[in-house]
Amino acid sequence: MRITDIKPYPVWVGNRNQLVVKVETDEGIYGLGESGLSGRELAVIGALKHFREFLIGKDAMQRGRIWQELYRSQYFEGGRVLLAAQSAIDIALHDLAGKALGVPVYQLLGGKHRDTIPCFATASGSTGEQLLDSARLLWENGWKVIRTMGLLPNPPASPEIFEPRESIAYTAH
């Protein structure tokens, strides 16, 4: 089963950009992967175009070999962008192999380790009160784990906001 194409699909998910990658084969089986590097999808697409030429015609079932060849092809460490592209290809190749073999990807990775996966929701707001309201609503809707990312964007200065420079200044003297 030979790789015939690698196609990037940038998508908007919630409040961030993501990149889905499709690896196609000559047998009509394809796999999907995700780069996971939000906000740098155009750079990852550039890396995918670079890797694409190398991958066309390769045996899609040789996931480990392909991973090593991509990684070792980088003269210097490639950084997050190249590794995000490589990861998306690797995930897509695992998805493709699972489809070809008729097994879920977790079977390819050593079997199931749990029956459920805990998830979290993110509370957000521009003020402390909005942040609390958002968290309360999530809790009322059944979420048991809630994270906050701080106040959104450019919140007004207030005693609710932690100023790290002031805190560090006292301890650095």
Which CATH code of 3.30.390.10, 3.30.70.260, 3.30.1490.20, 2.130.10.10 fits the domain covering 3-108? 3.30.390.10
H helices, E strands: number in the chain: 6, 5
Ranges of residues in the chain with a pLDDT under 70 are 75-78, 150-173
Give the per-residue pLDDT at 91. 97
Write out the two tokens for 116: 């459920």
Mapping DSSP onto H, E and C, the string for 23-55 reads: EEECCCCEEEEECCCCCCHHHHHHHHHHHHHHH
Phi, psi of 132 (to 5 degrees): -65, -40
Start and end residues for every CATH 3.30.390.10 domain found in the chain: 3-108
Give the per-residue pLDDT at 53. 93
Decide if 30 contacts 97 (C-beta within 8 A).
Answer: no
Residue given tokens 């990684």 in the structure block: 71
Q: What is the mean pLDDT of the chain?
A: 86
Give the per-residue pLDDT at 140. 95
Residue given tokens 């740098």 in the structure block: 40
Give the per-residue pLDDT at 48. 95
Burial of 149: CB neighbours in 10 Å, binned 0-12, 13-18, 19+: exposed
Give the residue among 77, 88, 80, 8 at the shortest CA–CA distance from 42.
8
Q: What is the pTM for the complete model shown?
A: 0.73
Give the per-residue pLDDT at 30. 98
